[in-house]
Structure 1
Amino acid sequence: MQSEETGDQTADRDFVASLEKGLMVIEAFDAGRQRLTLSDVAKLTGITRAAARRYLLTLTKLNYADFDGRYFTLSPRILRLGYAYLASASLPARVQPFLERISEETGESSSAAILDGDHIVYIARSATRRIMSIGLGVGSRLPAYCTSLGRAILAYQPEAVIEAYLQRVRLEARTPKTITDKSEFRAVLEATRNQGYALVNEELEFGLRSIAVPVVQKNGQVTIALNLSAQAGRVSADEMRERFLPSLSAASEALRYML
């Protein structure tokens, strides 16, 4: 017991709270919150206005943020942080050729994503056309519950992880077709695991269908999924299963021995 307490105390000493809060300030900005006031940042992060001001002004001084006298925005320099991951991580580089092959075979946009908290983050993408109202690229984040990529990953997590997710997440309706009942959502995850793929039909956005498969690694874990997206008016759900699933499954099977 004493050894565990000593270990916890050492871990606490190694934890830099100011860095945590600085990263929280950066993450307060997203596609829907590109311009934020000092009060906005304080509210979104839960830190005091005085602390938020210090972090924002520090980011501004380091050229990671811009300030027009009222609103703060992230500057292009912030891309250095994301590029540091892309440049040092081999995962996106390994996945990209498979996505390009999938898109070439199907003529549709394909993507790969990982789970980050309650969201998915795109790590690689091969886009043949723009089919969503929002632009997607590497680094884009979307709620896991209403995306095929998110469901394909969530379905293969340990039961305790799924239960904790369902306890904290709020299933908000993005369209009238979005599943918002947690019992129904759990059943969908079970079906996804049993059938080996997730199919989302206009739950994220009207007119958008997507199908995703998990990449089951050699140790049985799933941390990444691959998907194909298409306009609902052009491609039916049955056609997605018949035409797209074989390409996705083949790529997933090949990747499991490379991750």
Structure 2
Amino acid sequence: MASVDASAPRRGTGLQSLERGLTVVAAFSREHPRMTLSEVARMTGLTPATARRILLTLEELGFVRCEERRFSLTPRVLSLGWSYLSSLDLWEIAQPVMQDVAGRAGETCTAATLDLPDVVAVARATTRRIMTMNLQVGGRLPAHATAMGRVLLADLPEAELERFLATAALAPLTEHTIREPAALRRELTRVRRQGWALVDEELEIGLRSVAAPVRGADGRVFAALNLCTSSGRVSAAEVHERLLPGLLDGADEISAALRRRQEPPVLRLAP
């Protein structure tokens, strides 16, 4: 989970208790799934007394549990994310289009948005194929090593892209992963020019994916549509010749629907 700096100066008239509560929730992560009161206080920079009050409040609300003096998040925390996703409404437009793209391609179709340094899957349409990309809605992948991420990164404002390239840890996930900022910038320039991205075994050996941009009424890319396949089963040439045209058509269809609605681009999860 991304951290929140409780000691950072607040702007405007923010509610300090809410800020501190979110700081505590954000302190839990894969590396720190269960923590004592002292550990939470140290991780957040809060006093033990303040951390204790917040943890007890979160426990009372059902967002935290305590076992053997160690606190951990409960599944109820997911309701915060579901509230965001379920308040959005593009799923009604995107779902049938994605299902059609997936059906014609015979591969899983995923939509994702950017939450630097990752992409977050917000919608998914599967096929009957036994072996599919195991990325569920809400799952995260590093933006620099995914086709979806590169489509989204390529449309970032220049200043924001510069900050990302200057600070991001471009982890070498495979021997093929682009790990140098200059090389990634060149690839993003190519993606921006051609209007789609192909990533070949950079995220995982044996995995090949292609992504296309979904644009809102303002023309900006706010989501990426992706098809993922096995590199041993489908060649890069076949991805380009057979999968890419349908993917581009699907992304354009969703984008056109958004332009007709003239509303902010958003995504809804399937019921």
TM-score, normalising length: structure 1? 0.84
DSSP 3-state at the match of 1:257: helix
Alignment match, 1:207: 206
Matches within 5 A, 1:207-226: 207-226=206-225
Structure with greater contact order relative to length (CA < 8 Å, sep ≥ 6): 2
DSSP 3-state at the match of 1:12: coil
Alignment match, 2:5: none
For the aligned residue pairs, the C-alpha RMSD in angstroms reads 2.4
Shift of 1:28: 4.0
Deviations 1:214-252 (A, max 9, x none): 113342211111001112221122111111111111111
Rounded to whole Å, the distance in 1 between the matches of 2:145 and 2:20 is: 29
Shift of 1:61: 2.0
Give the fraction of aligned pairs with identical amino acids, expressed as a percent: 42
One-letter code aligned to 1:224: A
User: Does structure 2 retain, via aligned residues, the 8 Å contact 1:228–1:244?
Assistant: yes
One-letter code aligned to 2:168: V
One-letter code aligned to 1:25: V
Alignment match, 1:139: 138
Rounded to whole Å, the distance in 2 between the matches of 1:186 and 1:162 is: 9
Alignment match, 1:256: 255
User: Does structure 1 retain, via aligned residues, the 8 Å contact 2:120–2:141?
Assistant: yes
Deviations 1:138-176 (A, max 9, x none): 111222111111110110122112111112211111122
Alignment match, 2:45: 47
User: Does structure 2 retain, via aligned residues, the 8 Å contact 1:173–1:179?
Assistant: yes
Matches within 5 A, 1:18-37: 18-30=17-29, 32-33=30-31, 35-37=33-35
Further displaced range: 118-127 or 103-112: 118-127
Alignment match, 1:110: 109
Rounded to whole Å, the distance in 1 between the matches of 2:27 and 2:97 is: 33
- The runs of at least 4 consecutive aligned structure 1 residues that moved more than 6 Å come to none
DSSP 3-state at the match of 1:18: helix
Deviations 1:60-89 (A, max 9, x none): 221112222254332222232222223221
DSSP 3-state at the match of 1:150: helix
User: Cα distance 1:105–1:28, how it changes in 2: closer, same or farther (>3 A)?
Assistant: farther
Alignment match, 1:182: 181
Alignment match, 2:4: none
Alignment match, 1:3: none
TM-score, normalising length: structure 2? 0.81
Shift of 1:130: 4.8
* Unaligned residue ranges in structure 2 (runs of 5+): 1-9, 259-271
Rounded to whole Å, the distance in 2 between the matches of 1:136 and 1:29 is: 22
Residue 163, structure 1, aligned to residue 157, structure 2: no
DSSP 3-state at the match of 1:170: coil
DSSP 3-state at the match of 2:111: strand
Alignment match, 1:7: none
One-letter code aligned to 1:83: W
User: Cα distance 1:127–1:14, how it changes in 2: closer, same or farther (>3 A)?
Assistant: farther
